[in-house]
């Protein structure tokens, strides 16, 4: 009977056999907690009918290729490339311990695809901001952008001791499910600009935040934007009400409402 070795021992053995020295500066932190690995897989509720996408499959594609060949696995396709730039094949689920430095762009890239479920590991601080509640320190541009795109659920925390080498931060595993959005693409594009402008100055009143980040919404002249906002406030009390609120206290629905009210003036 073959003795089963721990994930930690197996990982260290593979690194040693292939002469690999880990570099923390490159985000090379590998999950060695077998219990957490199994939990992540359980969360995905995988079946034989699923096609799973994984980003950053571990120690390296060359080593993985050798292991796949050695174990005669025939249902895995390896793609060697930049995950942010490469075209994804068809998939319906994602299970991934993401490289943390690409958390934001890769998450938004996922949401351009049609899929059922993603189980993803992020740096805890990033995961907290994904689902940040209005008025809290976690509420951010990321929270507002994801609000209309996905349902996000915290699943479990992962400590630094679950990796080698141990990172300096905690991690979180989250479930991400795409939302069926009824918002027109053109309206969401305007919303994206307004969100970006507002959260450059999250503690300022919305009016001041937009003026200070006017280049994001297509204005160079401060006086021109002030004049337009003054006229709009005189015409519509609701615009004035929204503009006088601090960014951090505006819900995504509020920001969308403001975006629609301002869209004729935003480039």
SS3 category, 17 = helix
pLDDT reported for residue 25 = 60
* Under 8 Å between Cβ of 242 and 206: yes
For the residues 83-103, what does the mean pLDDT come to?
Answer: 93
Is the pLDDT at 23 greater than 90, yes or no? no
- Whether residue 95 is found in the same domain as residue 159: yes
Helices 185-198, 252-262: crossing angle, 10 deg rounding = 110
> Between the CA of residue 132 and those of 115, 128, 199, what are the distances in Å?
23, 6, 13
- Whether residue 112 is found in the same domain as residue 241: no
Is the pLDDT at 7 greater than 90, yes or no? no
What phi and psi, each to the nearest 5 degrees, are found at residue 8?
Answer: -60, -45
Residue 2 belongs to some domain of the structure: no
pLDDT reported for residue 2 = 41
pLDDT reported for residue 166 = 83
Encoded tokens for 95: 């299970």
> Between the CA of residue 46 and those of 49, 72, 74, 94, 120, what are the distances in Å?
8, 21, 17, 10, 14
Residue 22 belongs to some domain of the structure: yes
pLDDT reported for residue 71 = 85
Count of C-beta atoms within a 10 Å radius of residue 186: 9
pLDDT reported for residue 21 = 67
Choosing from 118, 143, 178, the residue where a domain stops is: 178
Choosing from 143, 178, 213, the residue where a domain stops is: 178
Is the pLDDT at 30 greater than 90, yes or no? no
- Whether residue 55 is found in the same domain as residue 128: yes
Residue 211's nearest CA partner among 192, 198, 193 is 198
> Domain span at residue 151?
7-178
* Confidence category of residue 202, pLDDT binned at 50, 70, 90: very high
- Whether residue 171 is found in the same domain as residue 189: no
- What percent of the chain is modeled with pLDDT above 70? 91
CATH number at residue 144: 3.40.50.150
Point out the least confidently predicted range of 42-46, 55-59, 235-239: 55-59
- Whether residue 102 is found in the same domain as residue 164: yes
* Under 8 Å between Cβ of 40 and 10: no
Q: What is the chain's mean pLDDT, rounded? A: 90
């Amino acid at each position: 009977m073959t003795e089963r070795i721990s994930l930690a021992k197996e990982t260290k053995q593979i690194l040693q056999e292939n002469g690999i020295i880990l570099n923390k500066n490159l985000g090379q932190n590998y999950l060695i907690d077998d219990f957490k690995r199994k939990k992540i897989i359980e969360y995905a509720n995988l079946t034989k009918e699923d096609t799973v996408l994984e980003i950053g499959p571990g120690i390296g594609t060359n080593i993985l290729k050798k292991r796949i060949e050695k174990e005669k696995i025939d249902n895995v396709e390896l793609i060697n490339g930049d995950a942010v730039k490469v075209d994804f094949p068809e998939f319906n689920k994602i299970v991934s311990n993401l490289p943390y430095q690409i958390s934001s762009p890769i998450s938004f890239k996922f949401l351009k695809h049609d899929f059922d479920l993603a189980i993803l590991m992020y740096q805890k601080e990033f995961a907290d901001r994904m689902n940040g509640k209005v008025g809290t320190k976690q509420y951010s541009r990321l929270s507002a952008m994801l609000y209309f795109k996905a349902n996000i659920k915290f699943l479990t925390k992962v400590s630094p001791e679950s990796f080698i080498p141990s990172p300096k931060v905690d991690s979180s595993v989250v479930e991400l499910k795409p939302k069926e959005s009824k918002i027109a693409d053109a309206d969401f594009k305007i919303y994206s600009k307004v969100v970006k402008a507002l959260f450059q100055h999250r503690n300022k009143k919305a009016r001041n935040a937009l003026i200070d980040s006017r280049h994001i919404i297509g204005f160079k002249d401060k006086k021109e934007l002030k004049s337009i906002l003054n006229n709009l406030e005189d015409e519509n009390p609701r615009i004035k009400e929204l503009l006088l609120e601090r960014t951090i206290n505006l819900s995504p629905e509020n920001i969308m409402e403001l975006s629609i009210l301002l869209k004729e003036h935003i480039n």
